[in-house]
Amino acid sequence: MSGVAGDPATAPALERFLRSLAARDVSPHTLRSYRTTISAYLAYLDERGTDWRAPSRPELRSYLARLGTAASRTTVAQRLAAIRSFHRWAVREGVAVGDPWGAIATPRLPRRLPRVLEVDQVTRLLAAVDDELAEASSARSDRVAAATALALRDRALVETAYAAGLRISELAAADLGSLDLRRGEIRVMGKGRKERIGLLGRPALAALAAYLEDGRPVLAQRDRHGGQLPTELFLNHLGGALGVRGLRYRLDRLCRHAGLPEGVSPHTLRHSFATHLLDGGADLRVVQELLGHESLATTQIYTHVSPTRLRAAYRDAHPRARRRAGTGPEPLPEPEPTA
């Protein structure tokens, strides 16, 4: 089989690789991204008449440089991950002898700490929804029901996202059958098509109950397309499913209304969920399970954004941080302000 990227024999290798990803329930978005990335890489090698199974080190460094000038560091890292995955698959399947990228040092992204809301900021976010409810009650009589329904939906949306630590895609995909108010659970399909259970506290259950009783039926009646009623939990103003873009728009709008700092995104609620659990004493593996992380290393980043918890653990555990028996821990000096 020819290894020149443009050769017709090369296309089946890429298609086989993509089929192997699909068999692992990789999302359609990821499949499209991998196809685009790897096709561009193979086209680059084709321009040089290079066997994609054994490109030279200078050619790979040249391609890496090209990526670096055309994309952000995050995008470069994502594209290299796709290319490396393709080459590793080729080795496992016996399509190629070795991984040419194995000897190439690629830039690593600095690990950034996730942005997290304080508890009082979450309260302010929910207060912004209460403002919407108040405004809805003063709207024109023909618009009160719809405006109230949307405000009830937004409160249920924020409470559910924060209570269960859900991704925005999981919120959009949640349907009525996934919700169990009696048990306080919501079943979602996470990354890699892995199902998990999100837990719901009393405020979230109350918000969902109010939305299901007085909000969602009003929105469902506004469906202008008729036919079968949508099964999705969260509906838009036209009675259809509220998609990821709609969810992002509504949450962004509420964040601005609440006066939260710039850069706060819907995913910030998920980060806040994890950090607040750890601050409250939850075990890291419990948080891993609730977040749906495959690796504990992914969850461990939240331990670096919880200085309050670290200081408390230090006071309780270090012999030189405790007072004499029965008198409690010595207070630690507060860090001096920086210039």
List active site positions: 167, 191, 267, 270, 293, 302
Q: Looking at residue 211, what DSSP letter applies? A: I
Rounded Cα distance, 313 and 22, in Å: 44
**Mutual angle of helices 10-23 and 28-47, in 10-degree steps:** 160
Distance CA 254, CA 257 (A): 5
What CA–CA distance (Å, rounded) separates 56 from 63?
A: 11
Phi, psi of 39 (to 5 degrees): -65, -40
- Best CA proximity match to 168, nearest among 236, 96, 265, 237: 265
Within 10 angstroms of residue 44's Cβ, the number of other Cβ atoms is 18
Cβ(223)–Cβ(229) below 8 Å? yes
